[in-house]
Structure 1
Amino acid sequence: MAQILAPSIQWQIKMTKNSSSARPITAKMWSSLLLNQKRKGAAKGSAKFRVFALQSESSTVNRLEDLLKLDTTPYTDKIIAEYIWIGGSGIDLRSKSRTISKPVEHPSELPKWNYDGSSTGQAPGEDSEVILYPQAIFKDPFRGGNNILVICDSYTPAGEPIPTNKRYRAAQIFSDPKVVQEVPWYGIEQEYTLLQTNVKWPLGWPIGAYPGPQGPYYCGVGADKSFGRDISDAHYKACLYSGINISGTNGEVMPGQWEYQVGPSVGIEAGDHIWCSRYILERITEQAGVVLTLDPKPIEGDWNGAGCHTNYSTKSMREEGGFEVIKKAILNLSLRHKEHISAYGEGNERRLTGKHETANINTFSWGVANRGCSIRVGRDTEKQGKGYLEDRRPASNMDPYVVTSLLAETTILWEPTLEAEALAAQKLSLKV
């Protein structure tokens, strides 16, 4: 199982001459050596020192880790803001740091910034400047203190959103008065797979071979069933520290695959929280020396894919009589199935096969407690006559800004023709 370790080097000094008889020195000896050097000055012709990554029995002179853990709060009001944005592929995360003169509480207090869009596939080399607009702030679990992570979206110098800026369009939909009135809630189940660094094969799998069949791994416990729990736990705590509305985590059906849930979140907040949680997960796997993939079908064959099931409800769905509103939403979703599928993640056709708890990508379906349908409704929702629906179609690499806003648009703002509605209701056996 991979262990979460902050990047650190454990320092120790040896003499380059007579190195065979050199002994590890303690922190006390290190201090004494430095003190003697200051007293004597630099001696000419003295033996040179080299630094080795070794550890003494009693203590470790770990200067790099000490610097990484430094709390600057007592000494300066300045903080470090890590500006985070989405790159040209639509799934790659980028970030860079800048110093802010004092702690901030709202994105509006932060300056806009820029980056080289020609290096991220988002601008031509002859006009490469792309502007970052701070949109959401989270506490930085890596630097601690008052330092922050900043979710940004990207614009041209003229103030136009660049094509890969999906947050801009989502914010427009979520600010529509009809959508605001319905207070859309989202609970997003982010699945991901951990890979061994050099071979890009799932964590815990024998290299070039396969583990035992699926069955014991889902929510499993034990060294032969759970691979990467430390990463999952570290991510869980880091998200809670940051203020991300993470609500749970579990091992998934395929060994080396995990899931965490974010929500319930309202409107645009759902996308901000998922993107920040993905960034934190990327940073943790970076430190652990493990590769993170959001590929919807990382291993071909009789293995589960990775999705990003999106639980969704509106105010009307959560109130008395809400089940009829849910049925109307399902009807609308059926009529825009192709539009949703095209926006639900690259490579999703490899996952949505009708097997491994998925519906076929070409066929829309719904059912109560049926994980093989496009849309699943829970037993409690059916029993209580109100609640939420689960869209099981989104892939693990979906853009949460796109998926959440599209669900709101289709179920709140979009109205089908009466003829199309009647045909769809008949086909799906829906009475609305």
Structure 2
Amino acid sequence: MFNQTVCKLHHYHCSTDFLGPINASYVHYLKLPVPKNKILATYVWIDGTGIKLRSKDRVLDKEPCDLKMIPKWSFDGSSTGQAKTNDSDTLLIPSAMYQDPFRKSPHVIILCETVHGDGSPTPTNHRANCAKILSSITDQDPWFGIEQEYTMFNEEKWPLGWPGGRGYPALKNKYSYCGIGHHVAGREIVECHTRAALYSGIDFGGSNAEVMKGSWEFQVGTTPGIKAADDLWMGRYLLERVAENFGVSISYHPKPMGKDQPGIGCHHNFSVNKMRCDGGIAEIERVCKILCENHEKYMKQYGLGNGEDNRKRLTGKFETASFDTCKWGVADRAASIRLQRSVVAENKGFLEDRRPAGDCDPYRICALLAQTCK
């Protein structure tokens, strides 16, 4: 039996309680002690698709206390759709650090920005612009809370829990939302993801089963500044890593199963000091008007690429507004922008923008919401 006392005597990190695939050889190697002066850092970044994540590992000689201790790195951008072959070196700029829930502390996961050799952001690096805009309104203390919906697919590329042979569940998904028992599928993955997210240091808010069987939601925030967007991307990374162990793939597509099934969104909750203070409802209404006035322009950034797939989701059905119009309302889940009843009752609070698609980039959304308060 592996002896934890030996680990302490020889100054090793131990991982004796790894929860992974039932494979004796694999578990054997994961239990091998790692010298204390060797820390594994997983660098994570958004690739050229704007939604897929990539990662690679680097061994550090010291446990990092902050981002300043994490070296910049590079990768072959021509293999990720982010550079040309004749100029492929693309830089990784460490931007946020998390505890590694797979290898456990002191190992870390580093969320990175991607930049070209000349220092300019790659086309899918929207974090750089978001950070710039948010830094310009720090005096207003912007807060964000983000709700990420997603769908789980099995190895046959069919939603988890749906009938075999490409069968469809009942069209009326009456019992899947926040459901239990045979009305939901994939809870084991959700439980593992929850613990991984909490361990990592994400401001994880919770989770629930969604309207379409096989789809779920997790929340991050409410969190000041850019951390909510950082946490959402890290939440996506952890979710897909957890799903690997179950032979399941994760989709954020806004309408993965056609017009007769519910869609997948990524609602953004937003407020600044002026909204949260007494009488803040006036500022909330002012921002709602700006958001609707700029609806057509914003919708091009509220989903992957130019947001056109989001049109399939925003049909006015399944508690969505129309893609082509914008309205805001109180307790109205068919509104583009919703205010909770408590906001009106207390005359202050926050707004919920329900338009972003499941495959949106939260950096783009947070930047647009923040711009309404500049």
TM-score, structure 1 normalization: 0.80
Distance 1:8 1:103 in 2: 30
Residue 59 of structure 2 aligns with an amino acid whose one-letter code is T
Corresponding residue of 2:6: none
Corresponding residue of 1:215: 174
Q: Any idea what the Cα deviations from partners look like across 1:184-215, whole Å, max 9, x if unmatched? A: 111100000001112x1110001211112310
Residue 369 of structure 2 aligns with an amino acid whose one-letter code is L
Residue 297 of structure 2 aligns with an amino acid whose one-letter code is E
Q: Is the 8 A contact 2:144 2:271 kept in 1?
A: yes
Residue 195 of structure 1 aligns with an amino acid whose one-letter code is F
Q: How many equivalent residue pairs?
A: 351
Classify 1:68/1:358 alpha carbon distance in 2 versus 1 (closer, same or farther; 3 Å). Answer: same
Q: Is the 8 A contact 2:302 2:356 kept in 1?
A: yes
Corresponding residue of 1:6: 20
> Which of 74, 94, 100 lines up with 1:114 in the alignment?
74
> Which of 38, 46, 49 lines up with 1:78 in the alignment?
38
Cα deviation for residue 265 of structure 1 reads 1.2
Corresponding residue of 1:397: 359
Corresponding residue of 1:252: 210
Classify 1:71/1:280 alpha carbon distance in 2 versus 1 (closer, same or farther; 3 Å). Answer: farther
Q: Secondary structure at the match of 1:412?
A: coil
Corresponding residue of 1:38: none
Cα deviation for residue 8 of structure 1 reads 4.2
Distance 2:92 2:317 in 1: 42
Q: Is the 8 A contact 2:48 2:123 kept in 1?
A: no
Q: For residues 263-282 of structure 1, what are the structure 2 equivalents within 5 Å?
A: 263-282=221-240
Residue 161 of structure 2 aligns with an amino acid whose one-letter code is G
Q: Secondary structure at the match of 1:288?
A: coil
Corresponding residue of 1:423: none
Q: Any idea what the Cα deviations from partners look like across 1:367-407, whole Å, max 9, x if unmatched? A: 00000010000000000000011000001111011111110
* 2:158 is the alignment partner of 1:201: yes
Please list every run of at least 4 consecutive aligned residues from structure 1 whose deviation after the TM superposition is greater than 6 angstroms: none
Distance 1:108 1:159 in 2: 18
Cα deviation for residue 303 of structure 1 reads 1.5
Instruction: Name the % identity.
Output: 46
Greater Rg by CA: 1
Cα deviation for residue 77 of structure 1 reads 1.9
Q: Any idea what the Cα deviations from partners look like across 1:234-253, whole Å, max 9, x if unmatched? A: 10010000000011100001
Q: Is the 8 A contact 1:5 1:288 kept in 2?
A: no
Residue 144 of structure 1 aligns with an amino acid whose one-letter code is K
> Which of 247, 250, 254 lines up with 1:289 in the alignment?
247
Corresponding residue of 2:289: 331
Cα deviation for residue 158 of structure 1 reads 2.1
* 2:263 is the alignment partner of 1:305: yes
Of the structure 1 ranges 329-338 and 63-72, higher mean CA displacement relative to structure 2 is found in: 63-72
Distance 1:355 1:5 in 2: 41
Corresponding residue of 2:343: 381
Residue 243 of structure 1 aligns with an amino acid whose one-letter code is G
Q: Secondary structure at the match of 2:43?
A: strand
RMSD between aligned residues: 1.2
> Which of 315, 319, 344 lines up with 2:277 in the alignment?
319
Cα deviation for residue 91 of structure 1 reads 0.4
* 2:191 is the alignment partner of 1:233: yes
Cα deviation for residue 5 of structure 1 reads 6.5
Q: Secondary structure at the match of 1:94?
A: strand
Distance 2:36 2:218 in 1: 36
Q: Is the 8 A contact 1:5 1:287 kept in 2?
A: no
TM-score, structure 2 normalization: 0.92
Corresponding residue of 1:138: 98
